[in-house]
Amino acid sequence: MTLARTLSWILFTAILATALGWLLTPWVAAATALLIPALLLIRQARILAQLQQWTFTPEATPPALGDWDALTAPLYRYLKARRLENETAQDTMQSMLAAAQALPDGVVTLDRGFHIDWCNRTAQRHLGLRMPMDQSADLRNLLRSPGFIEYAAQDRWPEPVVVRVHLRDRERRLLMQLATFGRDQRLLITRDVTQLERLETTRRDFVANVSHELRTPLTVLVGFLETLRDMPADALSAEQRTHYMTLMYDQGQVMQALVADLLTLSTLESAPSQEGQAIRCDSLLATPRQQVESLSAGKHVFSWHIDPDLQIRGSETELASAVSNLLTNAVRYTPEGGTISVTFEATPDGGARYVVTDTGIGIAAHHIDRLTERFYRVDRSRSRAAGGTGLGLAITKHIAMRHDAELEITSVLGQGSTFALVFPPERVGEKNPHPAKS
């Protein structure tokens, strides 16, 4: 369109020059014929220079180019549309990458030869990868796991596989799933199931322990019942029959205590913790004190130091169970004539500390870290003779956790033990305005 208009101007100039040649002198006509095309060419050259300058920054609005606007306007609209599409695609890609980074599962993209293209941070933790240094490396060489290499060698991966991965000084168990995507690429999804495996092992051990703990009293109980059933009524004296009944009653009590502790532990693990209310510590210890002194039957010397003004916020039932468990253990594992000291006092930081110290048999250092495990016993035969279920300290630890407290255990073999519940300041109530009278 612009070229046609320029040629029209040149033709018009030639006609004009011819007409002027008839009217004016020849040199004026020639000058006119040369001047007008020259001016037109200069103008077009300036327009072309502006057009060329715009091509270096096509995202900018094109300059006003006169007749050339009919060409630059559609081109600018096209470039703007493509630019917006690219920006949208980049934003979408960034969002997808951010979402992949936020996934709790590991994601690794691989080529056909299992060379790493990209992975998220979770996969780096799971597999010990270091990006970008490990980019393009063969994952099979980096992982060096026979389970994964065998799994990767399959033609198809319809099911995931659990692989054991060694990273520095720790071991992980990862659930891995391979899939194909794109142009014969590979996608690896990893999930850390180490904790789940540990919990499953704990569950199996727990069921086995419960079965074992119940089997012994059940065996005794059934044995005596069979004996009483098969023997003639007059075959046993009154004393023998009473003795058998007492033994059966004791075994029933063992099972009842075990079931009660299991129900307590299950409730503590499943029920949400509550803030509770302020409880006077002297009132909290009143019933456990009577019970433990009755259990001791005068065989031990007790020393009580309870702050009458101290209050603890929490569940009275749970706290009573915790303090009672520590008292009962002290009585059970302290020989006759031993001393049991009990204190419940405020600490300098505004918290509180409940301490039970005995002069009992003590505990070897290598047992202390495992004392709060379910059914863990230092001496199984002695524990059974003392009437323990093996769950008391596990229950106490759960109660402590639900009250933001810590269970501290120190002991010297042959010299005694100290069990302490340490409560933070936020669990200590205001001073009791009406302390109990001594």
Q: Which of 149-153, 231-235, 413-417 is predicted with the least confidence, judged by mean pLDDT?
A: 231-235
Helical (H) or strand (E) element with 175: strand 170-181
Average pLDDT over residues 55-75: 70
CATH of the domain at 332: 3.30.565.10
Average pLDDT over residues 270-294: 85
DSSP 293-318: HHHHTT-SEEEEEE-TT-EEEE-HHH
Q: Which of 349-358, 375-384, 422-431 is predicted with the least confidence, judged by mean pLDDT?
A: 375-384
Helical (H) or strand (E) element with 176: strand 170-181
Residue 433, φ and ψ in degrees, nearest 5: -70, -20
- 423 and 306, same structural domain? yes
Q: Is the pLDDT of residue 65 over 80?
A: no
Average pLDDT over residues 204-233: 77
Q: Please tell me which of 127-136, 183-192, 246-255, 351-360 the model is most confident about, judged by mean pLDDT.
A: 351-360
| C-alpha torsion angle, residues 205, 211, 214, 219 (rounded to 10) | -140
- 281 and 263, same structural domain? no
CATH of the domain at 109: 3.30.450.20
- 279 and 404, same structural domain? yes
- 156 and 125, same structural domain? yes
Question: Which residue has tokens 């012994």?
Answer: 216
Query: Could you give the number of structural domains in the chain?
Result: 4
In a domain, residue 90? The reply is: yes
Q: Six-digit token pair at 58?
A: 């096509």
Question: Band of the pLDDT at 35, cuts 50, 70, 90?
Answer: low
In a domain, residue 253? The reply is: yes
What's the confidence (pLDDT) of residue 287?
92
Helix (H, G, I), strand (E, B) or coil at 373: coil
Instruction: Report percent pLDDT > 90 for the chain.
Output: 28
Top pLDDT among 322 and 36 is at 322
In a domain, residue 432? The reply is: no
In degrees, rounded to 5, the angle at the alpha carbon of residue 27 between the alpha carbons of residues 24 and 31 is 105
Sort 343 into a burial class: Cβ within 10 Å, 0-12 / 13-18 / 19+: middle
What's the confidence (pLDDT) of residue 131?
86
Q: Which of 27-36, 332-341, 364-373 is predicted with the least confidence, judged by mean pLDDT?
A: 27-36
What range defines the domain where residue 132 resides? 103-192
* Last residue within a domain, chosen from 95, 112, 136: 95
- Residue 183 is classified by DSSP as T
- 49 and 139, same structural domain? no
CATH of the domain at 249: 1.10.287.130
In a domain, residue 420? The reply is: yes
In a domain, residue 70? The reply is: yes
In a domain, residue 165? The reply is: yes
Question: Band of the pLDDT at 30, cuts 50, 70, 90?
Answer: low
Top pLDDT among 261 and 32 is at 261
Q: Is the pLDDT of residue 438 over 50?
A: no
| C-alpha torsion angle, residues 271, 276, 280, 281 (rounded to 10) | 30
Average pLDDT over residues 348-370: 91
Instruction: Report percent pLDDT > 70 for the chain.
Output: 79
* Last residue within a domain, chosen from 268, 299, 321: 268
- 326 and 237, same structural domain? no
Average pLDDT over residues 47-55: 71
Average pLDDT over residues 54-80: 72
Separation CA 78–CA 310 (nearest Å): 79
| C-alpha torsion angle, residues 31, 32, 33, 37 (rounded to 10) | 110
In a domain, residue 437? The reply is: no
- 397 and 286, same structural domain? yes
Separation CA 394–CA 211 (nearest Å): 18
Residue ranges of E strands in 237-381: 277-280, 301-306, 311-314, 339-346, 352-358
In a domain, residue 325? The reply is: yes
pTM more than 0.85: no
Top pLDDT among 87 and 189 is at 189
Among residues 122, 158, 124, 161, which one has the least CA distance to residue 145?
161
* pLDDT mean across residues, the chain: 80
- 146 and 118, same structural domain? yes
Question: Band of the pLDDT at 28, cuts 50, 70, 90?
Answer: low
Question: Which residue has tokens 């270096």?
Answer: 56
What's the confidence (pLDDT) of residue 369?
86
Top pLDDT among 254 and 186 is at 186
What's the confidence (pLDDT) of residue 38?
66
- 423 and 278, same structural domain? yes
Question: Band of the pLDDT at 424, cuts 50, 70, 90?
Answer: very high
Average pLDDT over residues 345-351: 93
- 183 and 144, same structural domain? yes
- 125 and 176, same structural domain? yes
Amino acid in position 355: V
Q: Is the pLDDT of residue 436 over 50?
A: no
* Last residue within a domain, chosen from 268, 284, 312: 268
- 295 and 418, same structural domain? yes
What's the confidence (pLDDT) of residue 249?
84
